Structure 1
């Protein structure tokens, strides 16, 4: 993986080839908080729906609307703040997330909660396009891929832990406690970032790299299609995992199933991070194929708890570093246009989360829990075909 920024990289570490661990931890936490805030309601839907006096499926749209706001805001907000110093943008965005999480906990009105969640999603729309490029600029030559993987690891870990954390915290004093805790964690992250993260300068928007021009760069559209189908498949199943487990007769084991997913997601980050700079194609193909196998097992053997545990654990391992793999592929494919490509990629990523939640809700409302596994399987097969077929530009051999 190559460095795609022209801005000089600051010498912030005593050893030339050492990754700036404290700074990357700050970026990791920012990504973790963003996705934690997004998926937090998924583990709180029954309690939230009672407070907001609406149905579980409508309450689930608080996740969808958040992701939609991020998708809509990523590109215009990234361009509007392109000349600002990077840490200033990140701190502003985290401040928005902290305030909106606190306000969500205080709201008892469904419409108001949707508005607050939309604003929170706009805050995340400022964060995600920053992370990959920021990490690459901080890393020494030849280690950008690992730096990006660390910075973006907060996203899959947040997805893995968001629902169980929310469920556990709500048990301490209601769903509002989970949102207050998320707001507090955001403030602590802002305090950590202030002294540890170099405030790199922004830069003028390069008129050569408009969205329409970047989209025709060979390989990028294949990457975006694979990313969209992969993430929609994941979010159809993951957002409504409690419904699937209820169908499987495993309602009382939800916490342990999600714990298995979370543990293997973290393991995936550790394994992939050490190999992403040299084996990007193999890793993304392996992730997609393994995910497809897991969904097939869940579709066919939902009545066998042991196989459900194994499939969910393997799914966590497949999914854990997938954001890093797809964003890394987009950065490699687009070269000097990587900043714009990242904004496009985040837009697709967020829109896919929104679509996954929306489609999953429709399937559950009109069919049954088994429908979400078969829909996810069809989508991840499409993702696998795109990844395997993208051997020339999207995920080239030797990458």
Structure 2
């Protein structure tokens, strides 16, 4: 009698929950585009609201202020909330804020709506990276954060130009109304396809607040320091890139330069996703060096179009993966206090953006456009030193697949 040998079933390979992660990426896209959209529709917005363009431009500043001022207290207050409920609440806030912005004819009301959008952004950004990690199997959590963070370069490369085109063709209100429609569809996507995950206890066993305990965890402070200076360095130049190119005689090329930057950023996200679970430290060093070298090239010869485009590509390649790198570093370093660490990261990120806008304006006015570019490698020197020093915690050579 013959017997058929039985086969031992092989375990199913771990896979990323792409439907859920792409929903988180869309949430990142909505928050990123909502923040920067006023810059693309500024003339029409200022005319309809009866204010000058500088006043209308404060729609971006107010948004960043809403995020910076509320991310930490809201993260602490909602620490125990289930993650899905919290994300749905944040996205509902976006839908409401963009609807009011699209309909408002009052400057104060529009600014209030923008502040609400910033509050919703702080709530969302403090949980998105941790949520993405919680949805992924062990060993793929860095890739999960990379997928979720693709919303940032997509918004920069495609979303802002598209929003600007819609604003020019149909009016600035239509651009914000479209954001409401996208957010409404996203709410259904999240409700149907994103699994829930529990929140965390608001305080530790000793009764201490999570922010205080997170700062004592090795690696958290270096990651926050790097976040502050790296984002500041980037924003000083990026916020005034059109003025920089105009002073170099390439003002008409700003759109093309930013498109190259955005496309290279997508490549940077891909590279980060491929290597972040194995070589996080090497990625961090490479990002700092690429951005620093790109800015130095712009400072040295911004009059050469070929060099400007090459520098934009290096800059985008280096910067594209930075949100993923820093969010993942904060989550890994924070451990049980990852949500608190990420809330502080979001606050410092937005503070650095606001500070970069102010500092860049001062440099441009007093020292000229070249000073904008030279400031970037100067600010990145201590960033590189901290990344190099945080060998055991913060930016390790490799991460355990846990």
* TM-score, length-scaled by structure 2: 0.89
Larger CA deviation: 348-357 vs 29-38: 348-357
Aligned equivalent of 2:187, options 190, 195, 207: 190
Aligned equivalent of 1:101, options 98, 102, 110: 98
Match of 1:3 in 2: none
- How far 1:108 moved relative to its partner? 4.0
CA distance in 2, matches of 1:180, 1:381: 43
Aligned equivalent of 2:134, options 133, 137, 141: 137
Match of 1:9 in 2: none
Q: For 1:274, what is the secondary structure of its paired residue?
A: helix
Match of 2:27 in 1: 30
Match of 1:297 in 2: 297
- How far 1:329 moved relative to its partner? 1.3
Larger CA deviation: 246-255 vs 111-120: 246-255
Match of 2:371 in 1: 371
Q: Is 1:279 equivalent to 2:279 in the alignment?
A: yes
CA distance in 1, matches of 2:358, 2:389: 29
CA 1:72–1:133 in 2, change beyond 3 Å: closer, same or farther?
same
Larger radius of gyration: 2
CA distance in 2, matches of 1:59, 1:386: 38
CA distance in 2, matches of 1:321, 1:358: 25
Match of 2:343 in 1: 343
Q: Is 1:259 equivalent to 2:256 in the alignment?
A: no
- How far 1:144 moved relative to its partner? 1.0
- How far 1:365 moved relative to its partner? 4.9
CA distance in 2, matches of 1:175, 1:242: 21
Match of 1:157 in 2: 154
Larger CA deviation: 252-261 vs 162-171: 162-171
CA distance in 2, matches of 1:98, 1:263: 28
Relative CO higher for 1 or 2, CA cutoff 8 Å, sep ≥ 6? 1
Match of 2:7 in 1: none
- How far 1:55 moved relative to its partner? 4.3
CA distance in 1, matches of 2:375, 2:61: 18
CA distance in 1, matches of 2:302, 2:281: 31
The gaps in structure 2 that reach 5 residues or longer are 1-10
CA distance in 2, matches of 1:389, 1:59: 43
Superimposed CA distance per residue, residues 124-166 of structure 1 (whole angstroms, 9 cap, x where no aligned partner): 1110111111111111111111111111221333244443233
Superimposed CA distance per residue, residues 338-370 of structure 1 (whole angstroms, 9 cap, x where no aligned partner): 121111111111222222223333444555433
Match of 2:326 in 1: 326
Contact 1:136–1:148 at 8 Å: present in 2 too?
yes
Instruction: Give the total of aligned pairs.
Output: 386
CA 1:85–1:20 in 2, change beyond 3 Å: closer, same or farther?
same
CA distance in 1, matches of 2:46, 2:344: 33
Contact 1:164–1:258 at 8 Å: present in 2 too?
no
- How far 1:38 moved relative to its partner? 0.8
**CA-based RMSD:** 2.1
- How far 1:215 moved relative to its partner? 1.2
Larger CA deviation: 382-391 vs 254-263: 382-391
Q: For 1:397, what is the secondary structure of its paired residue?
A: coil
Match of 2:225 in 1: 225
Q: For 2:14, what is the secondary structure of its paired residue?
A: coil
Give runs of aligned pairs for residues 48-197 of structure 1, distance below 5 A.
48-197=45-194
Contact 1:157–1:320 at 8 Å: present in 2 too?
no
The gaps in structure 1 that reach 5 residues or longer are 1-13
Superimposed CA distance per residue, residues 73-111 of structure 1 (whole angstroms, 9 cap, x where no aligned partner): 112112222222211211111111122112223334433
